[in-house]
Amino acid sequence: MRFKSSTAFAISVSALTLTWSAAAVADSPQLRGSYGFTGSAECLVAPGYVGSPNGGPPLPNPTPGVALPNSGFQPDLRPNDVLTGTTSSYVYNFGVEGIRKFNGDGTGTVKGTTVSVVGRPTPGPGGYPHFPPSAGTSDFSFSFTYTVNPDGSWTSAMVPGSFTQTHLTGPRAGQTSTVDAIPPVAGMISQDGGTLIAAQVTAVVETHTYSNGDVDPQICDRTRTFVKLSDHDHDHDGDDNH
């Protein structure tokens, strides 16, 4: 029985494709070790508003530890308080630097530092919330789970309830805060596994709760770039902290 040359070529290509696919799966990078990262983020905060829309004296938080009734977001992700005609929403930006440790078993930890810039809310400065523009720094940490896919992509999600933040400078210096759940990130892994990228791919409402009683619903976008630090699981000072 004879095969046409075109048939033989097709079989060869098919066999080569199968071999390459199997090799690609076998060589899919598996994340383990410590990666240094930098990145940026921007958050839209919808804390709600209490007070006179025409200004008036600043007011303290009327419901410490509980979000205001007109805080948060509508289904179309616009702040709820726009429905009342008085918008207190504002945006803040921050950069981050830190270390993300992958344990190799689908779990890991993050520790890092932020530098943030906050614009004042509108209408301000009367009512609640009220504050002038400011800047500040903080340390944060959380635990996460992750999955590595055969195509070289990866996804990660924060372990709910694990995020803690200590505010070091700025108006909130001395306070601590938590975020209920940072949205999952998705990204790609370089061929040698030494560089990662990641970003949020969904808009999810988070709740940022501060030790002074402020409760702020927010929607953020985050991007990160990671570089492998070493083949050994250690950092600059031995505890994965900056």
pLDDT interval class at 55 (50, 70, 90): low
pLDDT interval class at 236 (50, 70, 90): very low
C-alpha distances (whole Å) from 124 to each of 65, 80, 202, 209, 217 are: 21, 17, 30, 21, 18
Say if CB 71 and CB 138 are below 8 A apart: no
What per-residue confidence (pLDDT) applies to 232?
Answer: 58
111 vs 101: CA distance, rounded Å: 9
What per-residue confidence (pLDDT) applies to 53?
Answer: 63
Say if CB 89 and CB 78 are below 8 A apart: no
Which tokens is 178 given?
A: 């938590």
Q: What percent of the chain has pLDDT over 90?
A: 68
What per-residue confidence (pLDDT) applies to 105?
Answer: 94
CA angle 170, 171, 174 (to 5 degrees): 80
Per-residue pLDDT for 9 more than 90?
no
Tell which residue, 94, 96, 92, 97, has the closest CA to residue 119.
92
Q: Is 220 exposed, middle or buried (0-12, 13-18, 19+ CB in 10 A)?
A: buried
pLDDT interval class at 88 (50, 70, 90): confident
235 vs 228: CA distance, rounded Å: 11
Which tokens is 176 given?
A: 């601590």
Query: What three-state secondary structure class fits 12?
Result: helix
DSSP 8-class letter at 24: H
**Total residues found in the chain within this entry:** 242
Domains along the chain?
33-228 (2.40.160)
Please name the residues in contact with 163: beta carbons below 8 A apart, sequence gap of 6 or more: 140, 141, 142, 178, 179, 180, 181, 182
Q: Span 69-87, mean pLDDT? A: 87
- Provide the mean pLDDT of the chain: 85
CA angle 67, 73, 76 (to 5 degrees): 170
Q: How confident is the model over 112-149, as pLDDT tens digits?
A: 999 999 998 877 778 888 888 999 999 999 999 999 99
What per-residue confidence (pLDDT) applies to 176?
Answer: 98
41 vs 136: CA distance, rounded Å: 14
Global pTM reads 0.81
Q: How confident is the model over 151-170, as pLDDT tens digits?
A: 999 999 999 999 999 999 99
Q: How confident is the model over 21-30, as pLDDT tens digits?
A: 333 333 345 7
Cis peptide before 58 (omega within 30 of 0): no
Count other Cβ atoms within 10 Å, centred on residue 50: 18
223 vs 229: CA distance, rounded Å: 19
Q: Where are the beta strands (DSSP E) in 74-191?
A: 90-102, 107-118, 134-148, 153-158, 164-169, 176-179, 185-189
Q: How confident is the model over 192-225, as pLDDT tens digits?
A: 999 999 999 999 999 999 999 999 999 999 999 9
Per-residue pLDDT for 106 more than 90?
yes
